[in-house]
Chains A and B, each alone.
Chain A
Amino acid sequence: MTLLLALITGLFYAAGIYLLLRRSLVKVIFGIMFLGHAANMLIFSTGRLTKGAPAFVPEGAQALVEPFADPLPQALILTAIVIGFGLQAFAIVLFRRSFEELGTDDVDAMRTTDRIDGGES
């Protein structure tokens, strides 16, 4: 299970970076999403993976009994997923709007702000 998760996480990172390096804005946004998910999976697996053992302290005991998965990373991911969702939603709207305004989704064509004359005034 851990091996499978490690492979999937690695695949997500690779896919994310590959898509981020493409020229089309649509692929860039997918790349960002994959990277976000990859980071979430990574955090998820740092809390250890246990099957059918919820992190509850049994009655009468003072602490968790082995084996248990650390629940904190799962809480961290929840926060990260929410934040990532908001940012990705904004990025989609922004990319769409710039596609409409600039008339292109080719990242290589977006060079006016880099040029010395920098467009208008």
Chain B
Amino acid sequence: MNLLVALPILLPLVTALVMLPFRERPGVQRGLGLGASLAQAAVAVALLSRVYAGGILTLQAGGWAAPFGITLVADLLSAVMVAATALIGLTTSIYSLGSIDREQERFFFHPLMQLLLVGINGAFLTGDLFNLYVWFEVMLISSFVLLALGGSPRQLEGSVKYVTINLLSSAIFLSAVGILYGVAGTLNMADLSARLPMIEQRDLLSVVAVLLLVTFGVKAAIFPLFFWLPASYHTPPVAVSAIFAGLLTKVGVYAIMRVFTTVFTGPESEAIFRILLWIAPLTMVVGVLGAAAQYDLRKLLSFHIVSQIGYMLFAIAIQSPLAIAGGLFYIVHNIVAKTSLFYISGIVRHKSGAFQLKKIGGLYSTEPLLAALFLVSALALAGIPPLSGFWAKLMVIRAGLESGHYFVTAAALAVSLLTLFSMTKIWNEAFWKDDPGVVSSTDEAHGNGRTALLYLPVVMLCGVIVFFGLSFEPVYELSARAAGQLLDVESYRNAVLGGGL
């Protein structure tokens, strides 16, 4: 029994349950949330180092051997994703202390945040497609409530769109799982990867592969399934939209990565990769062009989420070890940089009173620290050396050139430039130009005045960005090993099916 594999799921679950009775005592909930996030970070580091040293860890719940029981699997890819989730969970729980108001806390903000982490970690660790569906639903139901928390008309409107598209995608996922079970007779990922090559009904498998791509594509906000994202992510409290921006779409990307390298290995996944090679540049270009038109800070950043997803899809579609390593590092870098930018948008709102870039200005002279932090995150997102985004883009683009996908690589480079343009626009409007004086100084509605609590998480994340950039060697080592392990399906299968008996 490797209980360590289940801890990233159990810890937030227990925390959320313990929190529930303390509705009227936010102090207790805050303390529990912070403590649990710290413990979660420790667990994630322990898990990552155990997997790094000792290979894939599995847990067969209740001692039922795979493929019959509920299987949790932590390989390096999962462990890295869990670690990134723990980092974002920790920073968000700090950030929320300074930004979530009393009313939102009374409506169970803290327990919901923990339940969201349960769903995300579960999705990363599960070794079974049906359980992946269940964890998606756990994640979704918490995200629905968090998105609508506060109930302003805009939030409700955003939630209607988000909920509808996600329920549709759940129904598609469920149908795909049903057909797959009918064809293969199992839903355990390792077992599926062993059985699928021998299945005669290839056409049904193609249907399942495309249905799964659509499902995960909706979650990951790929072209043309992304419209819900910029319509909803700018409406909830900043702490909520930051954790959504950082983590939720990446769960979709992770699922694409996992299912089409581990579960589907034959002609079906090659066909999916051919489709992804078209979708990737379209996602990059449409996202970045959408952002160019925006002047609402969070909406602009939302379109950039879409654009960045394109790079990850490109990396997945290439499938060389370098590309997968680059894609994995890209995901982690993007989680950190994007969350940091959303936190910054909250501080900008707090200091200047608006998200609308045209209404604000002059933050460079009044908030030099904020300006510096923004520069670090924004330049990392655009891929300027020596920050993390540079290495991430370098790996993906190099893999693209090596595999001869010159057109998509060119698109990736052009989109980098446009990203830089967007970031410069934010810099010029919010930081550089003089305050137009439209908004009456600070806005009391956002934040409760504990500004240090807003800055601390951004400083932490920017530290991570700079660390990734300056000491790239160990990070590269880790991503390369994770990629090698992901592509070695045989050892994954042995770890799950062989070890359990």
Contact = CB atoms under 8 A, between A and B. Distances in A.
B177 A43 contact: yes
A52 interface: no
Contacts of B168: 20, 32, 35
A20 B145 CA distance: 22
Interface in A51-106: 70, 72-73, 76, 79-80, 83-84, 86-88, 90-91, 94-95, 97-98, 101-102
Contacts of B141: 86-87, 90
Given A32-B164, A79-B134, A110-B161, A39 B156 contact: no
B interface SS class = helix
Name the 6 nearest CB pairs between A and B, nearest first.
A46-B182, A43-B178, A98-B156, A39-B174, A35-B171, A42-B178
A23 to B, nearest CB: 12
Interface stretch (B15-23, B146-154, B407-415): B146-154
Contacts of A72: 181
Nearest to B445: A121
6 contacts: A20-B164, A46-B182, A94-B159, A94-B163, A101-B151, A102-B153
A94 B160 CA distance: 7
A110 B160 contact: yes
Interface in A10-45: 16, 20, 25, 28, 32, 35-36, 38-40, 42-43, 45
Chain A binding surface SS class: helix
Contacts of A117: 295-296, 356
A110 B228 CA distance: 12
Given A87-B140, A97-B156, A98-B159, A46 B171 contact: no
A108 interface: no
Given A36-B174, A73-B178, A101-B152, 17 more contacts: A20-B168, A32-B164, A36-B171, A46-B178, A76-B178, A83-B134, A90-B163, A95-B160, A97-B148, A101-B153, A110-B160, A112-B154, A112-B157, A113-B158, A113-B161, A113-B234, A118-B234
Contacts of A70: 185
B145 to A, nearest CB: 8
A118 B299 contact: yes
B160 A80 contact: no
A39 B355 contact: no
Given A113-B231, A121-B354, A39 B144 contact: no
A120 B174 contact: no
B366 interface: no
Contacts of B133: 80
Contacts of A90: 141, 144-145, 163
Contact of A120 (B154, B157, B161, B181): B154
B294 interface: yes
A20 B172 CA distance: 14
B232 interface: yes
Contacts of A73: 178, 181-182
B175 interface: yes
A28 B168 CA distance: 10
Interface string B174-196: 11011101100100000000000
B456 interface: no
A113 B181 contact: no
B130 interface: yes
A98 B160 contact: yes
B339 interface: no
A38 B176 CA distance: 12
B163 A91 contact: yes
